Amino acid sequence: MRILEAFRAAYGDEPTGVWHAPGRVNLIGEHTDYNDGLVLPFAVPWGVTAAVSPRADGVVRLTSLQAPGKEQTVEDLDQAHGWARYPAGVVWALREAGHRVGGADIMIDGDVPQGAGLSSSAALEVAVAVALDDLYGLALPRIELAKIAQRAENAFVGMPCGIMDQAVSALGEEGRALFLDCRTLGSRTVPLDLAANGLRLLIVNTGVYHELADGQYAKRRQDCENAAKRLGVPALRDVTDLAGALARLSGDERRRTQHVVTENHRVEALVGLLRAGAVREIGALLNASHLSLRDQFEVSCPELDTAVEAAVRGGARGARMTGGGFGGSAIALVPEERQAAVRDEVLRAYQARGWAAPTFLEAVPSPGARRLR
């Protein structure tokens, strides 16, 4: 393992252990997590590996093979900057929650494709969280570690994300998607056997990330909170009479509400189809989710729309943007025999617009965070 060598070279000793946490794709349930809603993501084969040893002096040393020359030694966690704020934030959040966590020597290696919107940051946080949990004998439940990781990102890094990415990185299972209720944090895994149904889930990485994304994410959250307040409910999850709610709202708040409420229904419908063994029938729900994200939630972009439309033209049973939006990746549910046709159609569409070619990956539901050695 190259991370062992790197650890030895940086810190002059063997790490006490090595942990891995995956990135994710979201099958359906987009922008529902921070509305106390439902999501159905699964863990992907790529993630972040952390080799870690505890330190008695409270100091945290951080090195990443993806950030050469940017290693940091911090006594005060707030000194951490750039990439190191994610792992330092996890140490901070654990201590904040009252856990006795000392220092650590941390070496990071990751293979989540950058900018693909596959949650490399959640993978980094969760890898460090499970490592420190083991090393300091905390024995926290996985969902608690996910909450710690989310708190690190919200309060230390400053990104107001929901719980989805960290939860699935901590709780994912091979061959299964994670059906998570973001209010109760109760979850179940659901079999997602694509190959047995002659299907593949293709990731189309647009390679673009539109700058305004971060501010827009916070703005969408705010729209949703404002709408819930106007409707007198704790969260948009609680809207049961959609038509009645829409009649009381206008503009952005109305559109955001329409998306969140219908998206929660789509998650439930999709879970129902998977339980019935009807994975071939989920395409229409993926398409509907995309249209809603494009037109009502307004988080898509031309590159994502083009990928989705071309994939469907090429024979995908359904396709949608996945993750926060404004770039990153789309997913397409593709019959095995249509794989080449779908790729060709997407490549052609990008070429026709003069855009750089997107890249393709296959998403296979993979295990969640675990100790490797």
- DSSP per residue over 4-61, as a string? HHHHHHHHSS--SEEEEEEEEEEEE-TT-GGGT-EEEEEEEEEEEEEEEEEETT--EE
DSSP three-state, residue 192: coil
Two tokens at 251? 């503009």
As measured in angstroms, the least distance from the Cβ of 89 to ligand GLA is 14
CB distance 129 to 104 below 8 Å: no
Q: How far is the CB of 190 from ligand GLA (least distance, A)?
A: 18
Task: Tell me the C-alpha distance between 49 and 368, whole Å.
Answer: 12
- Contact status: 34 vs ligand GLA (CB under 6 A): yes
Q: Which is nearer to ligand GLA, 51 or 260 (CB)?
A: 260
Q: With the CA atoms of 254, 221, 241 and 26 taken in that order, what torsion angle do they form, in degrees rounded to the nearest 10?
A: 110
By CB under 6 A, the count of residues binding ligand GLA is 11
Regarding 168 and contact with ligand GLA (CB under 6 A), the answer is no
User: If binding is defined by CB under 6 A, does position 33 make contact with ligand GLA?
Assistant: yes
42 binds ligand GLA (CB under 6 A): no
Using CB under 6 A as the binding rule, whether residue 323 contacts ligand GLA is answered as yes
Name 23's Cβ contacts closer than 8 Å, sequence gap at least 6: 43, 44, 46, 47, 48, 112, 118, 119, 120, 122, 123, 165, 169
Q: Provide the 10 A C-beta neighbour count for residue 4.
A: 15
Residues 234 to 293: which contact ligand GLA by CB under 6 A? none
Contact between 161 and ligand GLA (CB under 6 A)?
yes
- Pick the binder of ligand GLA from 165, 223, 252, 309 (CB under 6 A): 165
Which of 162, 314 has the CB closer to ligand GLA? 162
Contact status, residue 271 vs residue 179, Cβ threshold 8 Å:
yes
HSE-CB for 139 with a 13 A CA cutoff = 1
Catalytic residue among 33, 36, 133, 165: 165
Confirm or reject binding of residue 89 to ligand GLA (CB under 6 A). no
**Interface segment toward ligand GLA; rule CB under 6 A; list 11-19, 48-56, 139-147, 159-167:** 159-167
Going 357 to 348 to 199 to 38, the CA torsion angle's sign is: positive
Instruction: Provide, rounded to whole angstroms, the least separation between the CB of residue 34 and ligand GLA.
Output: 6
Q: Does 37 bind ligand GLA (CB under 6 A)?
A: no
The interface region with ligand GLA, picked from 29-37, 91-99, 190-198, 304-312 by CB under 6 A, is 29-37
Per CB under 6 A, does 125 bind ligand GLA? no
* β strands within 242-352, DSSP E: 318-322, 327-335
User: Quick one: which segment of 161-169, 275-283, 334-342, 355-363 binds ligand GLA (CB under 6 A)?
Assistant: 161-169
Does 223 participate in catalysis according to the annotation?
Answer: no
Q: Which residue from 353, 346, 304, 295 is spatially nearest to 325, judged by alpha carbons? A: 304
Q: x/- binding map, residues 325-344, to ligand GLA, per CB under 6 A?
A: --------------------
Applying CB under 6 A, among 18, 21, 22, 30 the residue interacting with ligand GLA is 30
The answer to whether residue 223 forms part of the interface with ligand GLA (CB under 6 A) is: no
Catalytic positions are: 165
Which residues of this chain interact with ligand GLA, rule CB under 6 A? 26, 30-31, 33-34, 161-162, 164-165, 323-324
